[in-house]
Structure formats: C-alpha cells, structure tokens
Chain A
C-alpha cells in the first residue's frame, strides 16, 4: 500500500501548472487536497508519473460574478458551511455539504478535486448537476466551459482531457422565489452515500414552477430526473405528490446490485428519499412564500 514512484512539482502560478500538465500529458495529474488521489495512489490504482501540486495557486473563493456564483477549484469543502451566498441562493448545496466526510476531509478536500475524481455518489458532482453548473476548464490552449450534465461520463471518468484542469465552477443564480433541498443516506455518517436526492424548485402562488432533480446511487454518475421535473410543474407546494414522484422515479431506474446494497433496496430507498427531498423543498418554499 505504497504509491509507485512519481515526481512531484509545485506549481507557482496557474500558467506554470498548465505548462507542466501540458508537458506531462497522460502522465501528469494535478493534486489538490489529496483526499482521493493519495489513497488511489497508495492502492496503486492511480500511478501518475508526475504530480502537479496546485495548492499554492490562487484558485479559492466564492463570489458572485454577474449572473453566476463562481467557486474557485481550490475552495475547500468546509468553506460552504458559513458562506452567506451559499446559504441564500443554494439551500440544496448547503444541505449536501453536511454529508461530505469528516472535518479533516472537509478541511483538505476541494471542489475541483471532488468533481474531477467523480465518485458516483460524491455530493459536489450531484450538486453541480442539479444546479446546471458550468465547469470551467483550462489548458495551455485556453478556457472551455463544460455543462455539468455533460461532464460526468461514468464512475471516476469525466470530460477533462489530459493537460486540462478545472479552475472554477459557475452556478447560475436562481430567481429569488426558489429553494431546494438535498437528502442523503449512507451506512455511517460521513460515508459516501448509498443514495441521495437533490431538488430545486421555483415557485409562485403556492405552486411549483420550474423544478430540477438529481439522483446519486441510481447510476454510475449523478443523473437528472426529467420525468419528475416535468411531473412537479404546477403541483401545489402543500401537496406536491411527492410519494407518487418517488414511485415513478424508482420504477424508471436500474441501480446496481452489489455487496453494499441490493438493487431492490436502492430502488426503495431512492423512492423514499425522493419523497422526502420534494417535501422538504416544498416546506421551505411555503416558509419563504
């Protein structure tokens, strides 16, 4: 359980990091908090020849930039807990980060690392997919933005190309009459979830306007639930048909059956979490309206 040999490089500027990543190609990997990469290297499941340490780069920070909330790639998980912008605009996001690991992991782990690692049931990828975030990726060639729904390709596989790195995530600011919720169940507190459901709602006149839903645990990456998003439109906040939504959604998925949980259990759990997440979001909407 020791990593294969590698060379370590400390990037002194973003350009320096991009040059190094360009130079090493497939052999190069950024290292941020190391909370996922280091265990993978110790198991020799990851064997990068070159590590590019990006921790000294000025890539942290949560700020409003026009119509988006921009979160720098090196923002650590613990930063969201007391952030007024997250609390105000993204209640589902704030719910979700409470489920991430333990204090030491939240202190070190970064959003860029989490979404690049792309664990199937990690919270931040689900949050990005739920909120239609743009993932801002740079290389020596320049910058491109990838829609979160197009970013996650499979378990631990993303649309990032060799030589590229994530510099930020951009979350479109929701209208004020909106809210959300995120619910997860894991075997122990701090574990990756067995399943989780995130919901966002726009509302008016006691009814749901636009809705979004994300689910982790149904597939190899977080998926949206267009059928349920459709279903919720026009439903009364006081009676959104949450249980039915849960049943419909659970019938549409084909979760894995493994030693951690049976497919039946995952389906049952996802139905119930869907109901609870919708009801929690509606309760918040009613409180706000």
Chain B
C-alpha cells in the first residue's frame, strides 16, 4: 500500500508556530483578561515545619478596598492524592491550603483575592500566621532516622516507599568477580524553570454550568479529570485550556493543587480568578528534581566484563507526593533504567523515596534518568580507571550488540546503534583526547574529555504505566483529523505543544499520509473542548505516539479518498497514489483527480460518492506505547578546559550522537537536543537549589539560583544515526528528553579525566572544581 515515499517526514521544515511565538502574537496565560476578574495572592509558609496556631486576617477589614480570604479551614477535605498502589507506600495527601501544619517553606497557607494584583499582594502582607515550629527533617539521613518524628500522622518514620527490583544471580556474580567497585554518587536538588512560570485563570458560567480553566499546563485533560473528581462536576461541563505555554519541561506535567483550588474559588466567589506565579514562588514551590544519592557496587571479571550490579537508591522527595507520577516515580525509574546499554546478567536495586521538609520532587526533563545516567556513566569511568582500561574500550567490551535484547529485568530493547555511536564518537574526539593526555603534565591548565553513553526508554504507554500502579494509569495519545470540503486539514491533537514544534511535525505527518502539503494542515491542541482525551505531552512520547495517532487517523481518511478516487477514475483503491494534491492512478498518472475535489465530493456533492458511503472525511485514532516502550540511544561528549588555580571550567566542546529512529523533522530534533543539553549543562555545572539546615531555601531568585547563560554554552554539535523502530507506526522513537540526560555525566567524566580524580557529585561549579583540583595545586 505504501508506494509513495514520505515527502515531508524527515524534511528540515522551519517551525510554523515560530511566526506567532517570535512576533509577540502568542497568547500566554497572563494575556488572559476577563471582566470582573479577581487576582489571587498566596500567603506561603515561611517556616519549613510548624503547627499553625492562628491565622489572623483581621487587619484586612481596615483596608479601603475589598478582599476575599480563604484558609485551610475553608478548603478542608480538598487535597491532592497521589498514591502508588503498593503495600509499601505510606500515603499522604496535600491539602489545597495547609490544614493544621505546614511542611515546607512555600506551602500555601491562605489565599487573598483582590481586584488588582498589587492590592492582593499588599493585603497578603497584613495577614499574620502564628507558627509553633516543629523539628525539621532536612536531609536523607535525618529522613531515614527512625528517631525523627514523621511528617504525617500515622506514619512510621519518613521513608515513603522502599522497594526492590532484581534479576539474575547476584551472589554468583559477586563470587565470580575479580574486582568489586563500590561508589556513591550524588546529584543535587534542582528546580525546573521554564521561561514562563505557571499560572491559572478560572471562570464559572452558571448559565450553561460550564467551568473554564486556563492553565499553563502540559496535561489539560488530566487537570479536567482531577477537577471533576475533586469538585464533583461532570467532565462534560469542564473545559481546560492550555494557551500558548512558554516552556514546560515536565514542571507543568503534574496536576497542581492550585489548579483545582482556583477553579473552586471561581465558583465560590462567582467571579473569574487569576493567579500568575512569580519567580520566587516558582523556585520554592512548583516542583524540584534530581535530589538523588546512589550507592552502586559493580562486579567485574578479570578481563573487564561487567557481571553484576547492586544499587541502593535514595531520593529526597520533599514533603508531598505529586500527581500523577507520585513520589514513588523518581526512585522507581532509577531502579528500572540503571542497567542501561550494557550487557550483564545479575542486578539488584533497592530504591526508596524519603520525605523531608522541602518542596516536592516532580517530573523534570529526563525524570530521574539524568541522575541514573550520572551514576551509571561515572561508574563506568571509575571502573575503567580502576582496571586501567580506556573508558571507550571498557564500554565497548560491555555494550549490547545483539537486538532485540532482553535485559536483566526482562525489558526488551529494540534495535539501536550503541556500539556504532561509541565508535563514531571516539573518532570525533581523537584530537581532544590527545590534547587531554598532553595536558596531564600541567599543574595550571588541564583539558579533559568525558562521555556518557545511554539509552532512554521512550514512547512508554499503557503497559508501562499499568505496571507502575500510579494514577497516570494510561498512556495512549489520540488525534482527530478532519479534511474540510476545500481540502484543508485540521488536526485536533490530544497532545499539548509547548515548544516541541508539534504544529509543524504533526502537519508533516498528515501531509504525507494525505498527499497534501504541511501548509494545508492546521494543528489545534491544548483545549479539552476540541481535542480528544489524552494524558498530555511529556515523557518523550509526542513524536512517536502522537505522530503515530495522526498517521493512523490520516491514513483512514486517505483510504477513503482512494476509494472515492478509484470510483471516479474507474480504478482500484490500492492503485491510487495520493501525491502533490492529486489522487492519481499509479500506472497512469495522467489519470487523476484533485484531492480537494474529492473532499468537496465527500461533503458537498455526495451523490458522486460510491453507493452507500457515509459522507465526511473525519477520523479519530489513538496510538499507545509498546509493552516496554522503544529505546532511543545516544552518546554525549564534553571537552573541558580547567584553570587549576581558579577552578574556572570552560566547556569547550559538546558533541551529541543520537539515534531516535525516524526523525520527523531533523531541525526540530536538533532544537530539542540542544535545548536539553543546555539544561543538562545547568545540572552539571551550575544549578543547585539549596536549603539551609532549617530547610530555609537560599536560592530563591535568579541571582542565587544560577541557570546557564548563552556565553557559557559552546556550539553543540549534533550528529544523527537513524535506526527506525518496528514498534511505532512511523519508526520514530522519543527524543524530547534525551538532550538533558547525558550532560551531567559527560561533563563530570570530562572534569574527572582532566583532574585525574573521581567526581561524585553535581554541580561542578568553580568552587567544586577548585576543591577537586586541590591535589594538583598541592603537588605543584
């Protein structure tokens, strides 16, 4: 059937949405202004752990403008419930507004509404909360100390969940090992930080009993479902709209208490309510990520074969569990992905999330994998160093080469280009490796080269989420494609696009299936009123599964176009090709009919259709992930130059070789990879969300919480290998997160290579590198 070669899939087409995004005509959450609107200001906890004795709002009565104030007493019973359905999990709920206790600095304690956002902020200053401080659980060690008081009533200690995954015979691997290498690695806590923060506007219209909620979210349908369940409204009467979203990166890929609370407030006050998060709120109270410690023990044979791996994983989760991935998601992910691209037969991981008086951990680009790959790839370098083997050599000795490969946990990897990308990277780095070697004799300036080789399970769907037993439950992505009588195409996409270029890539997919141009396709997304139910855009699934859904739906319309064309041209449907706007007979291209003519016939001149055919050119399809997802792979490499006397580390070169199967649009792939790498550079070198010993946050603005800036970023070289997967309709694997996964490991390995020392922790800022190079200064 697929005689025609794709014309647009794989083409470097400039993103259509950029015209809007770059010309100031995009419409973000803060652009939404409704008549009679109230502005919300959160009063947030200033103490990390305390009993609330009293909230005094009496001063508001003296103001010369009206205010509305709500506390946990008003919202009692409303909460976020995010549980993994396993017996080991200790459950907690996050009240919409603190009830009785606060558990982290930034937790909402009250809301103050006023007719002007400035006045709301002024009024919030007049509300006084009397706190009785409780002992703070501030570190992983304290959280695991059974003597410390639990954060929640009825809990035993502060370990939220601890579980195991294993495969093979670890004792045998240990017994057979010539080398046992044990290391502890730490990635520090980070915030997510899209350029646009979060925000919510809600409005209830009693006339048609419809609640409309605009939210800067990656998952409008899930917000709708949660509102319905928590507030008891029918989903049919709730419309959630994600307008243009200025970056999400997973931060906006959870349902937040405030999204439901603001909907509730709009109904309660009878007026539209608006909240726009400020940067401080974003940094202290949206979600955090990457706060991991992993102790790994590797069993290695005398000839450098990895025999087995034992892992102990702790994630400092903060106080609450986020919806829908829960506090079990992050440690579980590490346990699952640590085996990585290497071939070994024995594995055991113990992983836990612990509760502390900090902001909750949620999903942020890469979700646990930047930390897992940091540990995995630091370990590979540390083993290579211990055995005196070249790091490339050691990896190549252990890399998986036969596909499909069933890993030690029973996950099946589809084909990738692991060894090939390692070999290719080694060639690309030859000169840098030589320079690094020469610089080893210098006590003042060192060059280092480091790599990270990893796989990423992408396009996970329902089978994977069912195993997780968390509220995400399902993973299909749906699309509805419609060709109107003039031949123009509309895609209503279950995904929400917040930088992924879906308005372009999905148009490319539909255009190829329908023999039209991407310019003929209008992609709509983000509005639950127009788009089919889906769980949102996150998890490197959009291209592979969203593209799959669009392809399937568009192909159904294409089949109908062919049937009508065959009828009109006296041919057979399987003899009709759809190309360049025409339906033409394959062996006689001179015999054709314009596709837009067929579109008109199918909806206006229906008497010309084959007998009994239903009018219309509309199709709805969904695409779910394969059992184990599909595995994208990549090698990242960093070349650093270190000033030993000041700790200043210059990232001279960053190279990516990635394989995400079929690329829908290489330009978009490059953009996704580069953006992710920049965030990974932040993890590696700068970003650290710091709490003091009382769990007071110290990095609450951009002067203290340091993100990478353009001058620090080298040109990022991106190379592609395409190994299409048989597991998704277009052969595409996911790639949205990969860029962010490798840099921490690659840069740490480069710094370790330069300094001739192990690197145990991120971020490698000037102070950290200066400390790590102490031995060089001392021997100089």
Contact = CB atoms under 8 A, between A and B. Distances in A.
Interface of A: 1-5, 43-44, 185, 187-192, 194, 259-262, 265, 268-269, 272-273
B686 A269 contact: no
Interface stretch (B312-320, B445-453, B700-708): B700-708
B155 interface: no
A78 to B, nearest CB: 17
Contacts of A5: 118, 122
Given A1-B278, A190-B709, A260-B704, A265 B647 contact: yes
Given A1-B280, A268-B770, A259 B698 contact: yes
Given A1-B280, A259-B704, A188 B709 contact: yes
Given A188-B712, A273-B646, 19 more contacts: A1-B278, A1-B279, A2-B117, A5-B118, A43-B280, A43-B701, A44-B125, A185-B646, A188-B686, A190-B709, A190-B711, A194-B766, A259-B692, A259-B699, A259-B704, A261-B767, A265-B766, A269-B770, A272-B645
B115 to A, nearest CB: 14
Interface residues of B, number: 30
A43 to B, nearest CB: 7
B370 to A, nearest CB: 20
Contact of B766 (A1, A187, A189): A187
Contacts of A273: 646
A233 B125 CA distance: 57
A174 B646 CA distance: 31
Contacts of B118: 2-3, 5
Nearest to A266: B767
A259 B770 contact: no
A242 to B, nearest CB: 12
B768 to A, nearest CB: 9
B27 interface: no
Given A1-B278, A43-B701, A185-B648, A262 B711 contact: no
Contact of A187 (B121, B645, B686, B690): B686
A268 B645 CA distance: 8
Contacts of A265: 647, 766-767, 770-771
Interface of B: 117-118, 121-122, 125, 278-280, 645-648, 686, 690, 692, 698-699, 701, 703-704, 706, 708-709, 711-712, 765-767, 770-771
Of A3, A261, A273, most buried by chain B (CB within 10 Å of CB) is A261
Contact of A4 (B122, B646, B767): B122
Contacts of A194: 766
A259 B690 contact: yes
27 contacts: A5-B118, A5-B122, A43-B280, A44-B125, A185-B766, A187-B765, A187-B766, A188-B706, A188-B709, A190-B709, A192-B703, A259-B690, A259-B698, A260-B704, A260-B767, A261-B766, A261-B767, A262-B771, A265-B647, A265-B766, A265-B767, A265-B771, A268-B770, A269-B646, A269-B647, A269-B766, A272-B646
Q: Which 4 A-B pairs have CB atoms at the shortest separation, nearest pair first?
A: A1-B278, A189-B711, A272-B645, A265-B767
A194 B121 CA distance: 34
A1 B648 CA distance: 33
Nearest to B645: A272
Contacts of B125: 44
A189 B767 contact: no
Contacts of A268: 770
A4 B125 CA distance: 10
A191 B280 CA distance: 19
A43 B647 CA distance: 32
Contacts of A272: 645-646
Contacts of B698: 259
B210 to A, nearest CB: 32
Among A43, A190, A269, the most chain B Cβ lie within 10 Å of the Cβ of: A269
Contacts of B279: 1
Contacts of B648: 185
Given A259-B698, A265-B647, A189 B712 contact: yes
Nearest to A42: B278
B709 A189 contact: yes
B117 A262 contact: no
B778 to A, nearest CB: 12
Contacts of B771: 262, 265
A81 B401 CA distance: 58
A189 B686 CA distance: 13
A114 B121 CA distance: 29
Nearest to B712: A188
A185 B646 CA distance: 8
Nearest to B708: A188
Contacts of B767: 260-262, 265
Contacts of B708: 188
B700 to A, nearest CB: 9
A259 B481 CA distance: 53
A193 to B, nearest CB: 11
A262 B770 CA distance: 11
B775 to A, nearest CB: 14
Nearest to A269: B646
Contacts of B699: 259
Nearest to A4: B122
Contacts of A187: 686, 706, 765-766
B314 to A, nearest CB: 22
A190 B709 CA distance: 9
Contacts of B280: 1, 43
Contacts of B770: 265, 268-269
B46 to A, nearest CB: 14
A269 to B, nearest CB: 6
Nearest to B777: A268
B458 to A, nearest CB: 32
Nearest to B281: A1
Contacts of A262: 767, 771
A192 B703 CA distance: 9
B538 to A, nearest CB: 28
In this complex, the member of A3, A43, A192, A260 whose beta carbon has the largest number of chain B beta carbons within 10 angstroms is A260
Contacts of B690: 259
A122 to B, nearest CB: 12
Contacts of B647: 265, 269
A246 to B, nearest CB: 10
A269 B122 CA distance: 43
Q: Find the residue from B122, B765, B766 having the highest chain A CB count within 10 A.
A: B766
A194 B768 CA distance: 14
B691 to A, nearest CB: 10
A43 B118 CA distance: 13
B683 to A, nearest CB: 15
Contact of A188 (B692, B704, B711): B711
Contacts of A259: 690, 692, 698-699, 704
A62 to B, nearest CB: 27
B698 to A, nearest CB: 5
Contacts of B278: 1
A199 B427 CA distance: 46
A13 to B, nearest CB: 31
A229 B612 CA distance: 99
B503 to A, nearest CB: 31
Contacts of A269: 646-647, 766, 770
A144 to B, nearest CB: 33
Nearest to B444: A272
A185 B699 CA distance: 20
A268 B706 CA distance: 22
Contacts of B706: 187-188, 191
A272 B648 CA distance: 12
A39 B770 CA distance: 32
Nearest to B119: A5
**Of A1, A5, A262, which is in contact with the most chain B CB atoms at under 10 Å from its CB?**
A1
A141 to B, nearest CB: 35
Nearest to A102: B709
